[in-house]
A and B are shown apart, each in its own frame.
Chain A
Amino acid sequence: MDSSQTVREGLIPLLPRLRRLARALAGPTADADDLVQVVLERTLSRAAQWRPDAALDKWVFAIARNVWRDEWRARSRSQQLFAPEEVGATVADGSHTQLAQRLELAEAMATLLPDHREVVALVLVEGMSYSEAANLLEVPVGTVTSRLARARAILQTQLGRDT
């Protein structure tokens, strides 16, 4: 079996996690799936570079992060203008708590800088350890730690918890 086929087959079970990561990085549905598509195409085109002793998920997530970081954000920069103030006031009714929290969190994530959003995506959403995230981002573990602490503080402020 050549590496291309190995990678192709290995990607199939990773698709749900890749979509989740893309959503955390890029935002809402349509845009995030476009990102996934580009990442899949990029990954397949580079399949020959994949070493079977490397974890495929870490490799494809690194590609996803780089595509998002280097190419994607330029396209969707206009998203940053979108930060409706009303959201914090919506859906206070307790029976809709779950929905309300998801709305609030999506809005709060959208306000994070790329450095912050990617550590949240890798550690809190994907569940990587600090050292795994540091490897992927090619920064020291201390940088991951400080960015994550900063991101958390911003999210908690946005979510009105830091009173």
Chain B
Amino acid sequence: MNPIDDETLQAYVDGELDAAGVARIAAALAHDDVLAQRVRQARALREQVRAAFDPILDEPIPARLSALLQPGTPPVATVAAPRAVAASRRISGATRHRPARRWLMPSAALAASVALLAFGLWWQSGNDLVRVQAGQSFAAGDLSAALDQALASEPRPGSATVIGLSFRAVDGHVCRTFVHRPKPTIAGLACHNANGWSLPVLSTAVEPAGGELRQAASALPPEVQAAVDARLRGDVFDAQQERAARDAGWH
């Protein structure tokens, strides 16, 4: 019998073989451990790819994207790609004075990768600020306590965690941005749900702590701002709303 080549094997794993081809592989699998191992590897890779990207299907749709599809939205002109996106963001984000030009930095995507990566590294360092539950990251320890208690309107000198924006996300949960210093130096977004403060995004791409942490909100890394953008509709909490939300247990 001819050896099974890689293309045939992947067609088998992807369900692209005809019945005769499937029968041939199935027969070979019965007595060929190497082939069986190759099939397992190819299946595992397929599963890993799905597992990496399928969670995106459950993410909230960024408001700026769904807004484009609202009925009554005037037809858009075709735009020159990236710059026009940044421009439209600048308009929509103008009221919050976010540093829109960051979006033009080619390193924005890179920083997001760095965030993921740093998260992995940071995780391994044995910190107790984050726990993982059912594949999701949650704040733990001091970080969780700070998110529960701290108010942006009443910064506590010496506290490692500084709260930036608090707001109610499109899905109804209360979310808060934070910067934690100095070790590990991280910024992120935390959203409150029944299991605690979930952390949809974390980053170590935090600017040095010049002028104290007052500008925690404006100094957020781009990927954290993107996570805010994806969830924010309306205004962020003022001091009174923030306190009220705390008193209500962030529900």
Contacts and interface: CB of A to CB of B under 8 A. Distances in A.
Say whether A associates with B: yes
Interface of A: 4-5, 8-9, 11-12, 15-17, 19-20, 23-24, 26-34, 36-38, 40-42, 44-45, 67, 71-72, 75-79, 82, 84, 86-87, 90-93, 95-96, 98-103, 105-107, 110, 120, 123-125, 129-130, 145-146, 148-149, 152-153, 155-156, 159, 161-162
Interface string B80-94: 011011001000000
B152 to A, nearest CB: 24
Contact of A75 (B78, B82, B201): B82
Contacts of B62: 33
A75 B81 contact: yes
Contact of A45 (B42, B56, B75): B75
B54 interface: yes
Q: Please name the 10 residue pairs, one residue from A and one from B, whose CB atoms are nearest each other, closest first.
A: A28-B112, A31-B109, A30-B226, A90-B120, A20-B56, A16-B57, A105-B52, A124-B49, A45-B78, A102-B52
Nearest to A18: B65
Contact of A91 (B51, B88, B124, B222): B124
B29 interface: no
A42 to B, nearest CB: 6
A110 B113 CA distance: 10
What interface size band does chain B fall in? Answer: 35 or more
A123 B46 CA distance: 10
B156 to A, nearest CB: 31
Contacts of A129: 16
B117 A156 contact: no
